[in-house]
Amino acid sequence: MNEPLSRFTPSLMPASTLEAIFVARGQVLDSIMQRVESAADSDTRNQTLLVGPRGAGKTHLIALTYHRTKGLIAEGRRLQLAWLPEDPWTIASYRHLLASIVERLEGEPALDRRGSVAELEARLVARADERGTIVFCLRTSIAC
């Protein structure tokens, strides 16, 4: 492993490096990936919230989820992927969240991110019906 390690931004590291240094959270990642696979194969929809202190490995888990989901897509699973920016300060509302997902969907040119909540929801639903379940990864810090 000659890749540089990014201590504070695992999302910058390649999948192979992330897999090589991954420890102690295998059951959590397996559970997340089972949820992703279930969403690809059924009408099951869910969300996963990872909570923990700084340095607990949340971003590492999200990055591995992203890369493993890309692998499922490469195998032909009907999934789409959107990785939203870390600490997304521009997402100040539900409409902004939808617009950010629209903007970052992979595999095809991005849809127009303008529009009302109803219009953005309709575009995402139509795209999911056409191309498969949309999985989006979002990492943010919340200070209390």
What would the pLDDT profile of 89-117 be if each residue is shown by its tens digit?
778 899 989 988 988 887 666 667 788 99
CA dist., res. 8 & res. 24, Å (int): 18
Q: What is the pTM of this model?
A: 0.79
Place of tokens 């969907």: 105
**β-strand partners of 82:** 105, 136
pLDDT, tens digit, 9 for 90 and up, residues 9-26: 666 667 777 767 666 777
111 φ, ψ (degrees, to nearest 5): -70, 160
The answer to whether residues 86 and 11 touch, using CB atoms and an 8 Å cutoff, is yes
C-alpha dihedral sign at 122, 79, 28, 140: negative
Helix 58-74, helix 26-41: angle, nearest 10: 40
Query: 28 is written with which tokens?
Result: 């959590």
In tens, the pLDDT along 112-143 reads: 778 899 999 998 999 999 999 999 988 776 65
Distance CA(131)–CA(144), nearest Å, equals 39
The pLDDT tens digits of the residues spanning 40-96 come to: 988 888 888 888 887 777 887 888 889 899 999 999 999 999 988 776 677 889 998
Q: Where are the beta strands (DSSP E) in the chain?
A: 79-83, 133-137
| CA–CA dist 78, 106 (Å, integer) | 13
